[in-house]
Amino acid sequence: MRITIRLIVSLVLVVAAVAGASAFIQVRLERQRQAEDLERRCRLVAQSLIETVDSMEPQAATTRLLRLSKRFDHQGRILGVGFFTSAGEAIAMTPWMAAEAPKASDFVRDALASQVDRSQFETIRSSQTLLYVLPLETPSAGVAAVLVVHDASSVGGQLRRIWRYAFLRVLAQAALISLVTLLIVRWSIVGPIARTSEWIRRLRSGDASEPFTLPKEDLFAPLAKEVSTLAHHLVAAQRSAEEQARLSEQAESFWTPERLKEHVRAKLGGKSLFVLSNREPYMHLKIGKKLETIVPAAGLVTAIDPVLRACGGTWIAHAAGDGDWAVVDELDRIRVPEDDPRYTLRRVALTKEQEDGYYYGFSNQGLWPLCLMTHQRPVFREEDWRQYKAVNQKFAEVLLEELEGVDEPCILVQDYQFALLPRIIKQARPDARVAIFWHIPWPNPQAFSICPWQRELLYGILGADLVGFHTQLFCNNFLETVNAALESRIRWESFSVEKEGHRTYVKPFPVGVSFPQVFPDVPMDEALDASKTELLRELGVKASRLGVGVERIDYTKGLLERFLAIERFFEKYPQYVGEFTFVELGAPSRTHIKNYHDFMAQVEAETDRINWKFKRNDWRAIVLIQRHHSHREILPFYRTADLCMVTSLHDGMNLVAKEFVAARSEETGVLILSRFAGASSELRDALIVNPYDTERMADSIFAALEMPKDEQALRMRRMRQSVREHNIYRWAGSLVGELARLRLEAEATERRA
C-alpha cells in the first residue's frame, strides 16, 4: 500500500508541476496580450485627443482642456485623461485622478525624456489600471504629452480564471491518475504477484498441478522466465526426493542430479569436469534473419548433457552450426542452455579440409564402418589420417588452454573421433585424470587389424587412465586387440593394460538416459495433452494406431530392414491397412559422404514405394520426416505411440530405446528392439528381434499391437525399473568415481615406492 501511495503522490506532484509551469507561461502570455490590447485602445484615444488639442486656440486652451478631461471621467472603460507640459507638469486632469498627479507626472517625464510612448499597470484608488502616455512630436497649445488611464480590472480577472482552471485541472487529473494507477497496480502488479504467491504456496505444499503462467508484458517477462525455471527445478528436486525416499525404504539406491553433483564434488574435491567431443550439445542455425537453437540428434548428447547440467563444467566441441559464432564471447564460449545456464560450451573452429578429412573421412568412412561391422567397406586414406591427427592436436591445444590454472583436472574424452587425444593430454599434463568413453562397439582383433594405423590409435587410447565401453564384450575385444597389436602387459584379473610404465583400466559402463525426466529441457507434463490423433492430423494422416522410430538416417540403424518388415506386416495382416501408421523422425546425417547421401535416397524411394503400394486418400503406411527434431517435438511421439522400433544392425547401446521406456510413465506401449543393440542386454522385456529376419519382425509388430494392456504394463514396468536404476547419473557417477579411485590408487602406490 505504501508503494502505491508513493507512486500516486509522485505522479500527482509531477502533474501539478507540469500544470503549474504551463499555467504560469499561459498567464504571462495572456497578460502580455491583454496589455497590448489595452495599449492599442489607449493609443487611439490619445491620438484623437491630440487632434483636438491641435485645433484649440492657445488663449482658451486651458479652459477647454479642463472641460475635455472632465468629459472623460469614467467614460466607458476610460477612467480619465490628463494633459502635461514639456516639464511634466499637469495642465488638466480628470478630477478623480488629481491625488495621483505626482506619480503621473514622474511617469510622463520619463516618456518625454525618451520621446517614446509608454504604458504600465498601476493601482489607483484600489482599482487596477493601465497608464498610457503619448508624447507629442511638437507641443501644441502648451500640451507636450497626453495621459490616458484605462480600466485594467478585466486583466486580473482573466488571469485569475486561468489559475483557477489550472488548479481544477490538476485536481481532476490527480483524481484520474490515482484511479488509473490503482487499477493498473491491481490488475498488472498486485494480481500477478498474488497469483505468483499462491502458486508458490501450492508448489511448496506439493499441490502445484497446473503450469505457472504470468502476463506476457515486458514488466513480467524476466520474472516469468526465472520463476518458471525455479519452479521446474523445485518440482524436479521434489520428485527426486520423493523417489529417493521411496527407494530408500526398499533398500535401493537411485541416482539423481543432486546425488551426482554431491558425488562428483566429493570425488573431485569441487573441481569441474571437462568434456571433449566432436558433436556439440547445442547448435545455432540461421533461419531467415533469426537464430534458432537445436539439440542435435545423438546418443552422446543425450548422455552427456544431463551430466554437465547437474555437475557444471566445460564442454569443448566442434562448432557445426552456421550461427554458432554469432553468440559466443571473445573466448569462443557460451553458457548453455541459454534459458537456464548450467555449464560452459567452448566451440572449436575447423576448416573445410579438416572437417572433410578428420570427420567425414577417417572417422566416418574408416572407423565407423570398421567398428559397426554392417557390411560397409571401410575406406582409409593417408590424407584423412593426416587431418585426423591435426584435429586431435588442435582440440588438445584448446583443452590445454581451458586447463590453465586447474590442478589435477578431470577430463572425459568422448568417442572414436579423438582416439589420439588422451596420449597428447597425458604427456602435456601428467597430473590430469583422463578417461575416454567409446560410444560405439569395439570389433574383434581380426576386424580392427584392417585399419592401417591401428597401433597409433591404440597407443593414443592407452594414454588414458580409464577406457570405457558399453558392454563387457567390447572391453574383451579391446584388450584382445591391444594384446595382438602392441607390446604391452595385459592384466586380465584387473582388466588393465600396462604400457611404458602407465596403467590403463578398461571397464564397462552401460550408458543410460535422464530419468524420470527424459529430456531435462522439456517438462514431461507438456506432452501429456498430446494425442496420437492430433499428432497424425498435423501430418495429414488418419489412423488409430501409431508406431514411431527416432534416429539419425544412418545405414547402421536398420531403416531399410525396418520398412521391409512394415511392408510385410501389412501384407500378412491387411486389417491394419488404414489403421496403423509408422512415423519415422529421421535427422539427416553426414550428407557430405556419398554412402549416406545414397542411403537417404534409398530410404526415400523405399518409403514412396511402400506408401504407393498401400495407397489411400487420407492415410499413409509410413510418414518419413527428414529434419532435425527438438526434444519438445520428439517427446509427444514417445508418449503416445503404441510401439517404438529400434532395429539397429549393430549399435553400442542405442539410447532411443531407453528414452522411449523412460517416457512411458503410464506404463503402456511396446518396444521392439534389435538383438544387436547394446540396450537389448538390459531391456529384456522388449520384443527382441533380428532386423535381418523380415518375417519375424512383421510378426513382432502384430504382437505389439495385439498385446494385452496388462502384459504391456508388466513388461514396461520392469524395463522402467532397469532404466531407472541404470540412468545417466549412475553412469556418470560410476565413471567419475572409478577415475578418481584409480588416480588415488596410483598416488598411494607412488608413496609406498
Short-list 391, 383, 313, 378, CA closest to 351: 391
Report CA Rg, the chain.
46
* pLDDT tens, residue by residue, 424-463: 999 999 999 999 999 999 999 999 999 999 999 999 999 9
Residues 598, 601, 605, CA angle at the centre, nearest 5°? Answer: 140
CB 374 within 8 A of CB 348: no
Q: What b-and-e string marks burial along 282-301, b requiring 16 or more CB atoms within 10 Å of the CB?
A: bbbeeeeeeeebbbbbbbbb
Nearest CA to 624 out of 515, 521, 741, 541 is that of 541
* Residue recorded with cell 560410444: 439
From residue 67, give the alpha-carbon distance in Å to each of 21, 44, 83, 101: 49, 20, 12, 17
Q: 41-86 pLDDT, tens per residue?
A: 888 888 888 878 777 777 777 778 788 877 887 777 788 888 888 8
- For 362-382, write each residue's pLDDT tens digit: 999 999 999 998 788 999 999
What's the pLDDT tens digit per position in 481-500? 999 999 999 999 999 999 99
Query: Mapping DSSP to helix (H, G, I), strand (E, B) and coil, where does residue 34 land?
Result: helix
| pLDDT tier, 593 (very low <50, low <70, confident <90, very high otherwise) | confident
CATH superfamily for domain 271-508: Glycogen Phosphorylase B; (3.40.50.2000)
Q: Taking the model in full, what pTM does it have?
A: 0.69
- Per-residue pLDDT averaged across 327-342, rounded? 91
Ordered DSSP codes for 157-196: HHHHHHHHHHHHHHHHHHHHHHHHHHHHIIIIIIHHHHHH
Q: How deeply is 752 buried, as exposed, middle or buried, from its count of CB atoms within 10 A (0-12, 13-18, 19+)?
A: exposed
Name the helix (H) or strand (E) containing 12: helix 2-54
Tell me what the mean pLDDT of segment 660-666 comes to: 94
C-alpha cell at 360: 567425414
DSSP string, 226-257: HHHHHHHHHHHHHHHHHHHHHHHHTT-----H
More confident residue, 270 or 541: 541
Selected from 2.60.40.10, 3.40.630.30, 3.30.450.20, 3.30.1360.10, the CATH number assigned to the domain covering 2-157 reads 3.30.450.20
Pick the CATH number of 524-726 from 3.40.50.720, 3.10.520.10, 3.10.310.10, 3.40.50.2000: 3.40.50.2000
- Asked if pLDDT for residue 753 goes beyond 60, the answer is no
pLDDT of residue 41: 83
